[in-house]
């Protein structure tokens, strides 16, 4: 059983946090700009799956290790930053590759389109210790210990957040795709979109370490 007042407060707080610009929204927009609406949707699904993984960790108590151990936190933090740097480097590297003979007279088209985007998004979410701390610091505030099992309530709110945030992510994707279509109508714009995407990924890695 869930306290209705706590549920309403959780939904309001979740809405504000999902709408506020942040690393996840930047990742969504970057993927949408570079690879289109489909890649943006795959990213949103990946973030939702990452939320499910963090909920599982929070419920069984593994996320508490990150909060208690500075070494564990730093290890996951550096792993996540390194992963984002890798994605950004590969994106930038692709924009400096010489075009093939067949494409030499055509505008640049990214070679990374829709390739493992969902997995990349999920791993970006899972390897973000700030997200783990969000689940173990934010969600327990809405647990009513006078009602049903705290474990059930943690699982409920933890799974509810990615479900609630998903349509908000879709809104970002929709408008991001509209903006991207405008730029893609210009020659070689995809080249600069891919380079911007790579820079965004590297900037997210730096932000993760701050």
Nearest CA to 55 out of 163, 182, 146, 149 is that of: 163
pLDDT score of 206 more than 50: yes
pLDDT score of 103 more than 50: no
pLDDT given for residue 185 in this prediction: 66
d(CA 52, CA 9): 21
d(CA 95, CA 156): 43
pLDDT given for residue 104 in this prediction: 41
Tell me whether residue 171 is exposed, middle or buried, using C-beta atoms within 10 angstroms of its C-beta: 0 to 12, 13 to 18, 19 or more: exposed
pTM, to two decimals: 0.68
pLDDT given for residue 45 in this prediction: 92
Residue-wise pLDDT for 109-166, tens only, equals 344 445 688 888 888 888 877 777 777 777 777 878 787 677 788 888 888 988 888 9
Nearest CA to 128 out of 69, 63, 68, 71 is that of: 63
Q: Give the chain's mean pLDDT.
A: 76
Cβ atoms of 23 and 204 closer than 8 Å:
yes
Sequence-separated (6 or more) residues with CB below 8 Å from residue 59: 151, 154, 155, 158
Mean pLDDT of 205-209: 73
Cβ atoms of 136 and 58 closer than 8 Å:
yes
pLDDT score of 55 more than 60: yes
């Amino acid at each position: 059983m869930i306290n209705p007042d706590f549920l309403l407060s959780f939904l309001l707080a979740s809405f504000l946090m999902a709408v506020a610009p942040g690393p996840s929204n930047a990742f969504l927009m970057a993927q949408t700009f570079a690879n289109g609406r489909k890649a943006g949707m795959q990213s949103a699904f990946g973030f939702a799956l990452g939320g499910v993984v963090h909920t599982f960790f929070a419920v069984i108590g593994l996320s508490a290790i990150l909060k208690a151990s500075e070494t564990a936190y730093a290890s996951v933090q550096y792993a996540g930053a390194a992963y984002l740097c890798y994605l950004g480097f590969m994106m930038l590297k692709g924009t400096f590759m010489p075009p093939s003979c067949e494409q030499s007279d055509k505008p640049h088209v990214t070679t990374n389109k829709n390739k493992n985007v969902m997995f990349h998004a999920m791993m970006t979410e899972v390897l973000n210790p700030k997200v783990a701390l969000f689940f173990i610091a934010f969600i327990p505030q809405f647990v009513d210990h006078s009602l049903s099992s705290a474990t059930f309530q943690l699982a409920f709110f933890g799974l509810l957040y990615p479900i609630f945030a998903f349509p908000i992510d879709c809104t970002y994707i929709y408008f991001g795709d509209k903006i991207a279509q405008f730029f893609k109508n210009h020659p070689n714009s995809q080249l600069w979109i891919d380079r911007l995407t790579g820079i965004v990924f590297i900037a997210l890695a730096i932000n993760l370490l701050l």
